[in-house]
Structure 1
């Protein structure tokens, strides 16, 4: 059985909720990632309060006319972040990503600490061409 721990990219980089979005964008560029987990200011690097994407910065900040140097990562966090446990199997990963139409999924250990991220590319490496087509159709529908 393939688990979330088997396919995730480990060692995700955090950004504090109090950090500006221009710094978040710079960090995304440096790390060549499209999303960053946002740490809860009361428990940095232990508890995730959200996740921001490059698209969030573009659509909800820049395109809305806001200055990314004056908007924080925490300002963009909305709702409860989705996540999956390290021992979840690939079917559970697919179900979570498809049902919530998300492209990146944080992975947490038994202590609820963030240990990795699963992207579309990570998932695609595990699927047949037909399964990839179905996944894309469901996530992007």
Structure 2
């Protein structure tokens, strides 16, 4: 078009929607399209992972599109009632509990330990987070990002800053007798790869780690699932600590 010509967001949206509607082999009935300053945002759900990528390609091919933010999720509803999608993916039978698959006796730090000590533990164990416990009771998690943002960026000395100052106190956790299918479903929704497991006294008993389970159950499907969980999403963790009940519903505390 002419110099300085720019296609309007509304026209881009119409074009994307028209092209998606013309797809005979992809169900786009649950897909929403919005456009702002040439950036297309896709939301909703599809049945297959390939559909998600196909829709993104169609949007990206439209004139005037500068960027595509693909937030479409692959629906897992068809796997409910039989161990759940994630439970099936990792080969768990219906009724399997978090305690049955968790990594027991995880390495922890105390609230009074230094951030430098916590970082050394994460380096030695090759993990990105470590639980913070007062005795056996879970107090929070300290992650490599916590250290980078709350200690390094703030100019605090790592050898004199306590883990309690850097940790995230409000974290996702589950009970050891929660169904693993529900736990994995929530991990997929919240896009977390590791979650602390506690007993009814809120004492840490283990860690459910997707990475550990993937090592034991390798395959293309598992690798794709881990990639999907790691992809940034508009859904973030809530501001309150959250437990996962056996039904998978969330309870705030």
In 1, Cα distance between the equivalents of 2:174 and 2:220? 24
Number of residue equivalences: 137
| TM-score normalised by L of structure 1 | 0.78
Q: Which residue of 1 aligns with 2:190?
A: 100
Runs of 4+ in structure 1 over 6 Å off: none
TM-score, normalising length: structure 2: 0.47
Q: Could you report, residue by residue, the CA deviation over 1:8-58 in whole angstroms, capped at 9, with x for unpaired residues?
A: 11001221112110111122234443321112xxxx222211001233223
Give the superposition deviation at 1:68. 1.0
- Describe the SS at the equivalent of 1:75: helix
Aligned with residue 76 of structure 1, among 155, 166, 178: 166
Q: Residues of 1 paired with 2:137 and 2:127: CA distance?
A: 20
The answer to whether the Cα contact below 8 Å between 2:98 and 2:177 also exists between their aligned partners in 1 is yes
Higher relative contact order (CA 8 A, sep 6+): 1
Offset of residue 131 of structure 1: 5.2
Aligned equivalents of 1:129, 1:88: Cα separation in 2:
27
Structure 2, gaps ≥5 residues long: 1-92, 233-253
Query: RMSD of the TM alignment (CA)?
Result: 2.4
In the alignment, which residue of structure 2 is the partner of 1:87? 177
Partners of 2:158 and 2:200 lie apart in 1 by 35
Partner residue in 2 for 1:121:
211
Unaligned runs of 5+ in 1: none
- Contact kept, 8 Å, 2:146 with 2:168, in 1: the verdict is no
**1:111 pairs with 2:210:** no
- Whether the aligned pair in 1 keeps the contact of 2:196 and 2:208 (CA below 8 Å) is yes
